[in-house]
Amino acid sequence: MHHLQAEAERVNATDVAAVLGEFHREKLAIRERHVAVAQTVSHYDFNNTYQYIIARDDMHLAWLEAGIADLGGAPGTVAPVTLPARGKKDSFLPLVAEDAREAQAFVDRWRPRVAEVTHARHRNMMQVILGETLEQKRFFDQMGAGREDLLGRRTGGETTGNGVLPVRWIQ
């Protein structure tokens, strides 16, 4: 009997590792797209919001990678994201709207599957990631509506000038 229980736990761990691996690959692809889109976002507040979203994506991926490693697996990789060519005057907002749709689609695809994960810690982790993905969707929707106070309001009427600088560091 003990042998059968050990075998069942090993199969279950393998199934969970496969689900975590697939979830990780999709989240990684989304993260890579967020990085590519962020490079086109010239609006200061929106770009800062993308940087925040990418940092959360990185945390989600770290959690997933730790879970996969705990189950004896290794995380997968994805191809780099290449966005369609855009003119300098083209708005980045259609890309933001597409990110909003993809965030909702990701949650819709994964919510039923996550509910079936039997390992409570990994299921809860995936549910947190789905919840934070919906928060990202809210940010994208707010960008589309022109809301600039996504990460907070400035005091005293301060402005950001002309948006995001073309280089990260100026000396």
pLDDT of amino acid 79: 92
User: In tens digits, what is the pLDDT along the chain, a chain of 171 residues?
Assistant: 554 444 434 436 668 999 999 999 999 999 999 999 999 998 889 999 999 999 999 999 999 999 999 999 999 999 989 998 888 788 999 999 999 999 999 999 999 999 999 899 999 999 999 999 999 999 999 999 987 876 655 555 555 555 555 555 444
Q: Domain spans of the chain? A: 2-80+89-144
* 96/122 Cα distance (integer angstroms): 29
The third-level CATH classification (topology) of the domain covering 2-80+89-144 is Ferritin (1.20.1260)
Exposure b/e, 28-41, CB count within 10 A at least 16 = b: bbbbbbbbebbeeb
Instruction: Mark residue 95 as left, alpha or beta (left: phi above 0; alpha: psi -120 to 50; beta: remaining).
Output: alpha
Question: What pLDDT digit, counting tens, does each position of 27-62 carry?
Answer: 999 999 999 999 999 888 999 999 999 999 999 999
Compute the distance between CA of residue 115 and CA of residue 122 in angstroms, rounded to an integer: 11
Enter the tokens of residue 152: 């907070």
CA distance 56 to 48: 13
Provide Rg for the chain, Cα atoms.
19
Residue indicated by tokens 């200061």: 44
Tokens 């990780």 locate to: 24
Considering only the C-alpha atoms of the chain, give the largest distance between any 2 of them, rounded to a whole number of Å.
71
pTM score of the predicted model: 0.82
- Classify residue 123 by burial, with Cβ atoms within 10 Å: 0-12, 13-18, 19+: middle
Helices (H), the chain: 2-38, 44-70, 93-115, 120-144
Q: What is the pLDDT of residue 7?
A: 40
- Fill in the amino acid letter for 91: S
